[in-house]
Amino acid sequence: MGTTENGAPALAARYTAAFAAYLSNRGEQALGAAYDLGREAVAAHLSILDLAEAHHQALRAALAGATPSEATLQASADFLRESLSTFESVHRGYLEVQEAARLEHAHVEQLRALSDASVAINSSLTVEEILQLTADAARSITAASRATVGIVAPDPRLRPLTATSPPRVDSGEPAPARLSARLRARERELGMLDVVDRAGREFTPRDEAIVTQLAQLASVAISNAQLYERERTIAHTLQRSLRPGALPTVPGLSAAVRFHPAGEGIELGGDFYDLFGSSDGGWTALIGDVQGKGPDAAAVTALARHTMRAAAVYEHRPSGVLTTMHRALRDQQTERFCTVAYAHLRVGRRHLGVELACGGHPLPLVVHRDGRVDPVGRLGTLLGSDIEPLLTDVAVELTEGDVLVLYTDGVTEVRRRRREVFGHRELVALLERCGGLPPDAVADRIESAVITASEGRLRDDVAILAFGPTPQPQGD
């Protein structure tokens, strides 16, 4: 038969003609028309009632004006049985195809949800967030009533960590249907992922595969997050040990410092600063930058600070201290360069005497009370290179209201999308508006400008050290 048009009426007309033909010639070929009619009804999305109605009309037309015989009724039953058996067979196959398509679509949706969960889990850097994302994904993808994931804390002194989805569940006995997967990474047991549901739920092999894969994803992410946290803690501890704490209180001297490590603080930077007393009764202020990042740079940072502190005991000329440090770097064969701005301070009443030397470092800037900004010192040679450094001591006198600003290149090399957005010119323009401000306020404004320009994502460490004579009451 051809493609059905006009639904049930068209099928009824063809059914009547085919049944009449079968009554005239009850061969297998004529009975085959019933098979085709059953297939046609399924293809036209007709119901079994539509097919029964078509048969009723055909039988009524065949019996019009005649008495039904036993043979006619038997032929009618055979024709209907053939069309119904075909309808049932094809309809069952159609339903099976629909169910297979539904299951396949559900599987595709599960895989898409699993992919989204993988991205979210691997994007997180905190164990707590990974646990909650894993529990939420396990419950949602398997359509279960609850999912719980728990891990043993890496430190035995801490409590185990758990997350449940939904966060609040009814009290009482847990649901009896359960599916579990172990969390394991780097040959270490981390914990367990449990999915539970109503009584009678039978988890499929596909559910088991999804929960196992989620557990594997979470295991790797948790292990990486724990490693990241350990490295971050170590880096912060080392950075704190490489920098002095609060600046010492120096009578007659106002000083302020600001320091920001770049990025997340995992990779150790090379910026450093210091303020300490000298053996001759003066004070030493310095700021520096070691080439590169990481443990090697941190080791050079520690070497530089301790070498300069030791050298300052017997050498008061800034150039002499920097020369000593240069030779220490060469003797240690660190293969890393260093820049330093080093100042020897003599604190007087309403003034500050500064002797300054710069070894490859940006020149400090003096902010005068009237807003003038002047660079001070002379550029010197990079420290730790193969050539003997050329260093010059320059004397500077700061009077009340003057502020000397020492800084690293993280202040003047702020870039965004490969374009410099805050450099030396912007720093000078900012300082010209800071005339008469105390060191702490000046340092605050520089810090705020740099963070704003970088949109909070620093590419390099930022260190600022500002100081000047402490204002004295009038008449003193």
Per CATH, is 124-237 categorized as 3.90.480.20?
A: no
Between these two residues, 82 and 438, which has the higher pLDDT value?
438
Residue 352 has pLDDT above 60, yes or no: yes
Q: Pairing state of beta strands 146-151 and 161-165?
A: antiparallel
**Alpha-carbon distance 32 to 25, whole Å?**
12
Question: What would the mean pLDDT of 247-259 be, rounded to a whole number?
Answer: 94
Q: CB-side exposure of 31: number of CA atoms within 13 Å?
A: 15
Assigned CATH for 243-469:
3.60.40.10
One-letter amino acid of 15: Y
Q: What is the pLDDT of residue 239?
A: 63
Q: What is the pLDDT of residue 119?
A: 84
Q: Is the pTM of this model over 0.85?
A: no
Q: What is the pLDDT of residue 199?
A: 82
Number of residues that this document lists for the chain: 476
Residue 264 has pLDDT above 60, yes or no: no
Buried b (16+ CB within 10 A) or exposed e, 117-142: bbebbbebeebebbbbbbbbbbbebb
Share of the chain above pLDDT 90, in %: 33
Q: What is the pLDDT of residue 269?
A: 62
- In 10 A of CB 459, how many CB atoms? 13
Buried b (16+ CB within 10 A) or exposed e, 230-244: eeeeebeebbeebbe
**Alpha-carbon distance 262 to 260, whole Å?**
6
Ramachandran quadrant class, 335 (left: phi over 0; alpha: psi -120 to 50; beta: rest)? left
Q: What is the pLDDT of residue 126?
A: 85
Q: Are 401 and 471 in contact (CB under 8 A)?
A: yes
End-to-end C-alpha distance for the chain, whole angstroms: 117
